Amino acid sequence: MALFIYGTATNTGKNFFTAEDRKNFFLRGYPADVWVVGNNEKGALWLAEKNGVEKTKAEAQALVTAEVEAAQAAWDAMSDEEKAAPGNLGRPEDITLP
């Protein structure tokens, strides 16, 4: 049995997930509104309640990678001055889903 369920769901802001959710199952968000949740009843119910769409790990990874690559391209296109501006977090790093 897989440890995780992969899916997409639009983060609606405050109370999209709660501390109780985090206690009940693994929950982590990624770029492209990709969510990785624990493969248990409560995790599956959470994704369904958020109108989430389950994805394979490969599909979820492709969405995350595309979003990161777009952000990296935007970073690469910035001037040196823009890159050095205060508050700039640097070039986005690649992300590998668990």
Q: pLDDT digits over 8-53, tens only?
A: 999 999 999 999 999 999 999 999 999 999 999 999 999 999 999 9
The model's pLDDT over 81-98, given as tens digits with 9 standing for 90+, comes to 999 999 999 999 999 999
pTM of the model: 0.91
- Structure tokens given for 18: 């709660």
